[in-house]
Structure 1
Amino acid sequence: MAEGARYCFIVRWLDPTSALIWKYQFFYNTADSSIEMYDIKNQKIFLKRVSHPEIRLEHLYIGGTFVLYSRQLVVEDYGDDFTRKELSNLQETTIAVIKPDAIDNVGKIIDIIYSNGFLVKQMRMCKLSSQQAAQFYKAHAGKHFFGHITSHMSSGPCVALELVAEDAISKWRLLLGPTDSVEAKVKAPSSIRAEFGSDETRNACHGSDSPSAAKQESDFFFKDKSLGFCAKLKHCTLCLIKPHAVFDGFAGIIIDAILKRFVITAMELVTFGRPSALDFYELYNGVCSDYHAMAQELSVGPFIAMEVCYESGDDNPVNDFRDFCGPPDAAMCKALRPSTLRAQYGINKVKNAIHCTDLPEDGVTECTYVFTHKFNPTQEATVYKNHNLR
């Protein structure tokens, strides 16, 4: 990153009232973390240069979202050749897959990902069929190990992640270590495969080996949200790791703590626009004075949604999990329930790290809303195709 640089991006905003897309040039000045915006359609300044330290350059990758003055903006492209040249290598993407043999260590591995400076652009848990696993590994069809890897990949849930970082492909593969976990334990004992893998097939994680492979694998896992759908939608509760806790790098630690007492049966990185956040929290409208603030917090960036169940899968975990998270006010938690998730990772009543289902009868409803995408995540793309730009 160049010191004192002025980077330019093309961002878009979906006006929820008119259902029109607005496009802007968005400028980020590294010298003082100030921003500017220019209205492309009307060819005039939309926002004069102003300091806004809450927005960091890390937010500004292709496909990333951030909130500015209650508007959720999507980064669509680089705005000039200088920005593209300077940042494209810094914002390379790769696909990581946490395999079925390492699913119990998913929290630890996600913590390693965040601790090593990766941003998570997309993530979802899925359970592949044998045919889908064969499709994913089709480049290895005919090789002696093909049957073993497809059988293993379809043996249980996996978690696919699209990662963003400088030289992300080589950086992730270096963290993984040699393909054979036995070899990794000797040659790279601190690598992920050495720590969590056991052999050449059950080697904990997969990593893309080239930009073209990363693109194909991203399309495989993330174009079709129904691929390998694994949410149970019964005897469950919803857990959301809120945007501030995700961006601060606490997600992996929180997931690992949850797995010590519960089972995670579905997981996805989700982004809500403000209308979806208001809709999700509608139950609190008129009941909770923080209703609008809660919706604002949930719409400022991506959060991690999880369907949480008991190991047996036969009882309702809502009350137990709510107690595990602690009271809504994180400040109160720190004094009265210091071992709870909200006490450890929350800040206040709104930025309290975790949303969890409050009422036993709402667990299935909330999980269904998120994991069957009743908030309509394709609405923006549909509007974009069917309306003229302002």
Structure 2
Amino acid sequence: MDEDRRTYDYFDKYTFLCEMYDSEVDDIKELVLNFFPFDNSVQIIDVEKGKAMIRRVQIKGVDKRNLHIGNMVNIFSKLLLLKDCAPLTRKTLFNNVKSTFAMIKPISPALHGKVLTFIMKKGFRILQMKNAKLGLDLARNMYRHLSGVKEMPIIIDYITSGEVIGLELEAEDAINKWRACLGATDPKYAAPGTLRKLLGEDMLRNVAHGSETEETVKEMLHNFFGYENGIPILPYRATLKDCTCCIIKPHVLLDGNVGSIVEHIATSKNLYISAQGMFTFDINDAREFYEIYSGVVPEYEAMCIELTEGRFIAMELKSKDPNVNVVCEFRKLCGPRDPDLGRQLYPESIRALYGKTTVQNAVHCTDLPEDGELEVEYFFKLIALK
């Protein structure tokens, strides 16, 4: 960071317009959140009263990484929804920040985690994520720019031959940045360090796709993640049978460990990811989902708040062996709820490796064998349908 940037950060603040539900008066309060990047401190202003509701203070877990429009931030157990920001804040934090559409092609599931890790290390935010099977019409439309090319039928056959993962990625100049990260179509000629150079096999099996224009980005995001009459255009792949639920929690996305956890699951002996999607919760959704823990687990309210603090990934997991109880198998892979205990007893478990606390413990897993299908249905049969 140069001297000018240090000076700017020292004196400047980022300003967000927020909403907070006040249960005492059953009303929505309009607040202003000022974030001071020099020391990661926060100030909250009550708009109606025109005075500080919370004087400038450092709050654990609040930093530039989670200050995005639409995110929830936890201020002393009060949830603030970031609705908008000041023009200077927008120019500073979100200058030329846009979305692009990316797609992981039909490659080995063992490589999915490596691709996701690559994406996050390159500074992209994942806004949407979904596995799917492309039909012929969507595949032909996606590659219509190759119409007339003799290899077109081979490309379509390949892209529809197996599971793909669609992603909405956000970054500064996202379209060009992602295509640069991909590298040349032929991995043989791709620049060192690009995704296709690292993992690509040939021009057909070159790992991933990236849209070329804003128009095609908009079109593909709609085709992949859009809805018609409240039904997803491209269906989720959940079977809702003989399965268990996994939630990769919001703090994992901020920490950049999504790919590592996906790889951990994909390379396990008995488990595989059959469906996945990215969701957000408000506090009522979280309380409903975690209702079984109310009055039982002391961290219940904190668990609910954690699940509202950003996007999370919900998954349906199944077993490769029909004789294996998938709920119990995944619980073993996750390890104890307390990551510190896990690090002592099961150091290679997911929570031991990527968890921080009993609340921020990387993943949720279904506890009771009879609840696996119910929890998966909650996301892919209820929440996924608008």
TM-score (norm 1): 0.84
In structure 2, what is the Cα distance between the partners aligned to 1:74 and 1:264? Answer: 31
Confirm or deny: 8 A CA contact 2:74 2:305 kept in the other structure: no
Paired residue for 1:194, among 188, 193, 197?
Answer: 197
Give runs of aligned pairs for residues 178-189 of structure 1, distance below 5 A: 178-184=184-190, 188-189=191-192
Instruction: Give the deviation of 1:318 after TM superposition.
Output: 0.9
In structure 2, what is the Cα distance between the partners aligned to 1:133 and 1:124? Answer: 16
What is aligned with 1:386?
A: none
Confirm or deny: 8 A CA contact 2:72 2:308 kept in the other structure: no
Confirm or deny: 8 A CA contact 2:261 2:350 kept in the other structure: yes
Give runs of aligned pairs for residues 1-390 of structure 1, distance below 5 A: 2-3=8-9, 4-13=11-20, 23-38=30-45, 42=48, 44-45=50-51, 47-53=53-59, 54-80=61-87, 82-89=88-95, 91-101=97-107, 103-184=109-190, 188-224=191-227, 226=232, 227-261=234-268, 262-311=271-320, 316-372=325-381, 374-375=382-383
Instruction: Give the deviation of 1:5 after TM superposition.
Output: 2.4
CA deviations over 1:330-380 (Å, ceiling 9, x no partner): 1111111112111122223222212111111111111111122x34786xx
Confirm or deny: 8 A CA contact 2:327 2:366 kept in the other structure: yes
Confirm or deny: 8 A CA contact 1:129 1:228 kept in the other structure: no
In structure 1, what is the Cα distance between the partners aligned to 2:21 and 2:157? Answer: 43
Specify the SS of the correspondent of 2:107: helix
Instruction: Give the deviation of 1:145 after TM superposition.
Output: 4.4
Q: Which residue identity lines up with residue 338 of structure 2 in the other structure? A: D
Confirm or deny: 8 A CA contact 2:337 2:351 kept in the other structure: yes
Instruction: Give the deviation of 1:39 after TM superposition.
Output: 5.3
In structure 2, what is the Cα distance between the partners aligned to 1:132 and 1:20? Answer: 45
CA deviations over 1:87-127 (Å, ceiling 9, x no partner): 33363322221112254311111111122222222222222
Mean CA deviation greater in 175-184 or 143-152? 143-152
Instruction: Give the deviation of 1:7 after TM superposition.
Output: 2.5
Instruction: Give the deviation of 1:139 after TM superposition.
Output: 4.7
Q: Which residue identity lines up with residue 257 of structure 1 in the other structure? A: H
Specify the SS of the correspondent of 2:68: coil
Instruction: Give the deviation of 1:223 after TM superposition.
Output: 2.5
Q: Which residue identity lines up with residue 259 of structure 2 in the other structure? A: G
Flag the 1:296–1:97 CA change in 2: closer, same or farther, 3 A: same
Flag the 1:286–1:76 CA change in 2: closer, same or farther, 3 A: closer
Q: Which runs of 5+ in 1 are unaligned?
A: 379-390
Confirm or deny: 8 A CA contact 1:231 1:265 kept in the other structure: yes
In structure 2, what is the Cα distance between the partners aligned to 1:83 and 1:363? Answer: 43
Instruction: Give the deviation of 1:141 after TM superposition.
Output: 4.5
Flag the 1:210–1:13 CA change in 2: closer, same or farther, 3 A: farther
Instruction: Give the deviation of 1:15 after TM superposition.
Output: 6.6
In structure 2, what is the Cα distance between the partners aligned to 1:313 and 1:134? Answer: 36
Q: Which residue identity lines up with residue 116 of structure 2 in the other structure? A: I
Instruction: Give the deviation of 1:147 after TM superposition.
Output: 3.5
Confirm or deny: 8 A CA contact 1:96 1:208 kept in the other structure: yes
RMSD: 2.9
Instruction: Give the deviation of 1:283 after TM superposition.
Output: 1.2
Flag the 1:74–1:138 CA change in 2: closer, same or farther, 3 A: farther
How many percent of aligned residue pairs carry the same amino acid?
36
Q: Which residue identity lines up with residue 188 of structure 2 in the other structure? A: V
Pick 1 or 2: higher relative contact order, CA cutoff 8 A, min separation 6. Answer: 1
Specify the SS of the correspondent of 2:247: strand
In structure 2, what is the Cα distance between the partners aligned to 1:86 and 1:31? Answer: 14
In structure 1, what is the Cα distance between the partners aligned to 2:167 and 2:146? Answer: 21
Instruction: Give the deviation of 1:75 after TM superposition.
Output: 3.6
Mean CA deviation greater in 334-343 or 3-12? 3-12
